[in-house]
């Protein structure tokens, strides 16, 4: 898969760890930044990652911040994006199975790194079940 990454300064360290994991799993990564812990405005990096998915340039995206809340909100403003804020493996699994989430949001300040990496693994390998959920999701598209 080709996966877009975007973060602000508060999620930078976790983004770097996830980037390593994705590479070790054989995924292609497009990193939209930021590239340091210097303070930045998150929408400048989150929106381009989400837009890459919406345009079909990337299969999915993972975005990062301190809590992940603002990042999920910014990503979800992009038409065609279904960004899920996940904090454990079960929420990640359900976000894919039931909601067909194409963007994952993680908060570096609120989730231990080991759990975050496990969340990423589950989110990448869980398929959408479709069925009645697919129809309902399609109805929500503007």
pLDDT given for residue 134 in this prediction:
61
Domain edges within the chain: 2-140
For residue 87, give the nearest of 102, 70, 109, 55 by alpha carbon: 109
Q: Which of 37, 51, 57, 71 is catalytic?
A: 71
Buried b (16+ CB within 10 A) or exposed e, 91-100: ebbebbebbb
The answer to whether 38 is a known catalytic residue is no
Cβ-contact 93, 36 below 8 angstroms:
no
Point out the residues of the chain with pLDDT beneath 50.
Answer: none
Q: Is 9 one of the annotated active-site residues of the chain?
A: no
The per-residue pLDDT for 12 is 98
Among candidates 117, 68, 119, 66, which has minimal Cα distance to 96? 119
> pLDDT (tens digit, 9 = 90+) per residue, 14-52?
999 999 999 999 999 999 999 999 999 999 999 999 999
CATH number for the domain running over 2-140: 3.40.1400.10
User: Which pLDDT belongs to residue 130?
Assistant: 82
């Amino acid at each position: 898969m080709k996966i877009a990454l975007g973060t602000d300064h508060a999620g930078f360290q976790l983004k770097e760890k996830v980037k390593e994991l994705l590479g070790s799993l054989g995924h292609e990564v497009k990193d939209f930044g930021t590239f340091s812990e210097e303070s930045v405005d998150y929408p400048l990096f989150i929106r381009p990652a989400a837009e890459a998915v919406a345009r079909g340039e990337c299969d999915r995206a993972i975005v990062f911040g301190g809590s992940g809340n603002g990042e999920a909100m910014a990503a979800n403003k992009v038409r065609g994006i279904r960004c899920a804020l996940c904090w454990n493996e079960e929420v990640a699994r359900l976000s894919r199975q039931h909601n067909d989430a194409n963007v994952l949001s993680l908060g570096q300040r609120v989730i231990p790194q080991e759990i975050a990496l496990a969340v990423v693994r589950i989110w990448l390998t869980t398929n959408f079940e479709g069925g009645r959920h697919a129809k309902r999701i399609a109805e929500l598209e503007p």
